[in-house]
Amino acid sequence: MIRNAVPRFISASVLVMLVVLVAKLAIAPVHGVHDAAGCEQAWADARSRTDTISADLLSFPDSLNRRISRRCGELRTP
């Protein structure tokens, strides 16, 4: 009975740790640049329309520490 319980406990522990890791990665903010100046640098480095669109979709943390994700495209004037 005990010999059967130990491998099951280890398997369950590994499974729970994997679920927690995936959940943390899914919820964690992922930012492409650190601030609005990073957006300007990404636009300056853009060599094609595709690069410009990619730079527009980069995210950066909100300056007021709200839990929202800002996009570089919000800052660029058309």
pLDDT score recorded for residue 22: 92
pLDDT score recorded for residue 1: 61
Residues 6+ apart with CB under 8 A from 76: 39, 43, 56
pTM over 0.85: no
Q: How sure is the predictor about 13, in pLDDT bands with cuts at 50, 70 and 90?
A: very high
Sole residue written with tokens 């640049």: 33
What is the number of other CB atoms lying within 10 angstroms of the CB of residue 15?
Answer: 10
